[in-house]
């Protein structure tokens, strides 16, 4: 279910403030965050993030196409292991 338009997108205030400070300082160090529910806003474009997936941090460089998506969409939490091969029984 989507968030109401009246409320606007959910953006973590602390992360937003850290992103503004990093942009002002011209820092290229990644911003480490555990907040996967935070919506990517235009102010995040061009910044590096490290998003926690429950075990490790995934590196992310934000581009214009990512605006409006959530940070957690770019750090998968499950590891896909290939489907098992189907063994053919001899007749």
Identify the CATH number of the domain in which residue 57 sits.
3.30.860.10
What is the rounded distance in angstroms from the CA atom of residue 79 to the CA atom of residue 76? 8
Q: Please tell me the predicted confidence (pLDDT) of residue 88.
A: 66
Whether residue 29 lies inside any domain: the answer is yes
Cα(19)–Cα(11) distance, integer angstroms: 11
Sign (positive/negative) of CA torsion 26, 30, 35, 38?
positive
The answer to the question of residue 4 being in a domain is no
Q: What is the number of domains present in the chain?
A: 1
Mean local confidence (pLDDT), 61-65: 97
Tell me what the pLDDT averaged over the chain comes to.
92
Q: Is residue 19 part of a domain?
A: yes
Residue 26 pLDDT > 90, yes or no? yes
High-pLDDT (> 70) share of the chain, %: 97
pLDDT tens for residues 73-91? 999 999 888 887 777 667 6
Range of the domain at 31: 13-74
pTM above 0.75, yes or no: yes
Residue 21 placed within a domain: yes
């Amino acid at each position: 279910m989507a968030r109401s338009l009246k409320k606007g997108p959910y953006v973590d205030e602390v992360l937003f403030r850290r992103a503004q400070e990093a942009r002002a300082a011209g820092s290229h160090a990644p911003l480490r965050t555990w907040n996967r529910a935070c919506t990517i806003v235009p102010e995040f474009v061009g910044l590096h993030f490290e998003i926690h997936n429950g075990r490790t941090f995934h590196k992310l460089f934000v581009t214009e196409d990512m605006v409006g998506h959530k940070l957690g969409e770019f750090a998968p939490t499950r590891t896909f292991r290939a489907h098992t091969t189907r063994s053919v029984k001899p007749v």
